[in-house]
């Protein structure tokens, strides 16, 4: 009997000693989840607070630097090339016909949509199912959100964040402000950003002095400004330039009222 009792005590002690590591592991796991929850909440709060702050700030101050500009500089350094970053911020009135050309060439529904052109998005999705060459359906508002706050890419996470910033700028900024920021930060060549820098590079004059055809020529190289050329346009770019010029005549004038 004594031997049996000793065996039972030993078994019981063994179970207790085995339970302690499991209890410790469960406690550590629980603390880990709490810590993860703690920092996740704070990161989410920080993201929303900082994004709202930046959107409000850029409602009033010029956007002097964007993620894409930094990425291009890093690419240039990595390739051992000369750093090129030409950008001159000008007010909307100083952009001449470039805003009109941008609407005519990139987003004809800009003045009436709320940031998203669902018809264009639907058409792009249908096209991309059957073609290797990807077609975009982004509006000027979406492109502005991407250029100012995000990085290039087509994954769904980035597109989701882009949609969030698009809704924010449509809510906080006026249409005129969105277009002003767009034509000041959009990539328009190798190391060239915005209408003013592009005008000086390609036509040796300020954007406000460009003719309608010259403004259309600059916009015609979008969305591939490092592939297509203003000064040596392909037949496709020339055709696009004429199409933009016709659309500019149809639109006539940008009415923000």
How do residues 159-176 score in pLDDT, each as one tens digit? 999 999 999 999 999 999
Which of 26-30, 92-96, 126-130 is the most confident on average?
92-96
3-state per-residue secondary structure call for 159-205: HHHHHHHHHHHHHHCCHHHHHHHHHHHCECCCCEECHHHHHHHHHCC
Residue 86, SS3 per DSSP? strand
pLDDT in tens, 4-52: 555 545 455 555 555 667 777 777 877 888 888 889 999 999 999 999 9
Assess contact for 248 and 257: CB atoms under 8 A: no
Quick one: CA torsion of 116, 243, 229, 87, rounded to 10 degrees? -50
pLDDT mean across residues, the chain: 89
Decide: pTM greater than 0.75. Answer: yes
Tell which wins on pLDDT, 2 or 220. Answer: 220
pLDDT in tens, 170-202: 999 999 999 999 999 999 999 999 999 999 999
Percent of the chain scored above 90 by pLDDT?
72
- Least Cα distance to 68 among 148, 1, 12, 137 occurs for 148
Question: CATH: 3.40.1440.10, 1.10.3810.10, 1.25.60.10, 1.25.40.10. Which one for 59-251?
Answer: 1.10.3810.10
Which pLDDT score, from 0 to 100, does residue 25 have?
75
Task: Reply yes or no on whether the pLDDT at 206 is more than 80.
Answer: yes
Alpha helix positions (H), 96-139:
98-106, 118-130
Please compute the mean of the pLDDT values over residues 60-71 and round it to a whole number.
96
How sure is the predictor about 151, in pLDDT bands with cuts at 50, 70 and 90?
Answer: confident
Task: Reply yes or no on whether the pLDDT at 233 is more than 90.
Answer: yes
For CA atoms 227, 231, 234, 237, give the dihedral sign: positive
- Least Cα distance to 166 among 121, 131, 213 occurs for 121
Least confident of 9-13, 97-101, 184-188, 215-219: 9-13
Give the domain ranges of the chain: 22-58, 59-251
CA distance 241 to 252: 16
Which pLDDT score, from 0 to 100, does residue 55 have?
97
Least confident of 24-33, 152-161, 215-224, 225-234: 24-33
By the 10 Å C-beta count (0-12 exposed, 13-18 middle, 19+ buried), 122 is classed as exposed
Give 182's contacts (C-beta < 8 A, 6+ positions apart).
102, 140, 143, 144, 147
CA distance 89 to 62: 7
Query: Which residue reads 């060549």 in tokens?
Result: 189
Which pLDDT score, from 0 to 100, does residue 29 have?
76
Task: Reply yes or no on whether the pLDDT at 222 is more than 50.
Answer: yes
Cis bond upstream, residue 15 (ω within 30): no
Which pLDDT score, from 0 to 100, does residue 8 have?
46
**Length of the chain, in residues:** 257
Task: Reply yes or no on whether the pLDDT at 129 is more than 80.
Answer: no
CA distance 85 to 14: 71
Task: Reply yes or no on whether the pLDDT at 2 is more than 60.
Answer: no
Query: Which residue reads 């009222």 in tokens?
Result: 257
Residue 87, SS3 per DSSP? strand
């Amino acid at each position: 009997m004594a031997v049996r009792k000793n065996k039972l005590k030993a078994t019981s002690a063994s179970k207790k000693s085995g339970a302690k590591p499991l209890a410790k592991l469960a406690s550590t796991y629980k603390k880990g989840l709490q810590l993860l929850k703690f920092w996740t909440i704070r990161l989410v709060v920080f993201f929303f607070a900082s994004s709202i702050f930046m959107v409000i700030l850029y409602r009033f101050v010029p956007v002097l630097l964007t993620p894409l500009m930094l990425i291009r500089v890093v690419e240039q350094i990595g390739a051992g090339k000369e750093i090129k970053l030409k950008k001159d911020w000008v007010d909307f009135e100083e952009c001449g016909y470039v805003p009109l050309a941008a609407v005519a060439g990139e987003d004809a529904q800009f003045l009436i949509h709320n940031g998203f052109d669902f018809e264009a998005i639907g058409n792009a999705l249908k096209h991309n199912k059957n073609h290797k060459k990807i077609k975009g359906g982004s509006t000027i508002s979406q492109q502005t959100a991407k250029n100012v706050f995000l990085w290039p890419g087509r994954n769904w996470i980035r597109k989701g964040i882009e949609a969030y910033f698009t809704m924010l700028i449509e809510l906080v900024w006026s249409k005129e402000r969105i277009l002003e920021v767009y034509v000041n930060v959009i990539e328009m060549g190798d190391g060239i950003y915005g209408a003013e820098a592009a005008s000086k590079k390609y036509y040796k004059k300020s954007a406000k002095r460009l003719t309608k055809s010259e403004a259309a020529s600059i916009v015609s190289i979008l969305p591939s400004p490092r592939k297509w050329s203003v000064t040596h346009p392909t037949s496709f770019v020339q055709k696009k330039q004429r199409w933009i010029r016709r659309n500019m005549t149809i639109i006539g004038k940008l009415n923000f009222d």
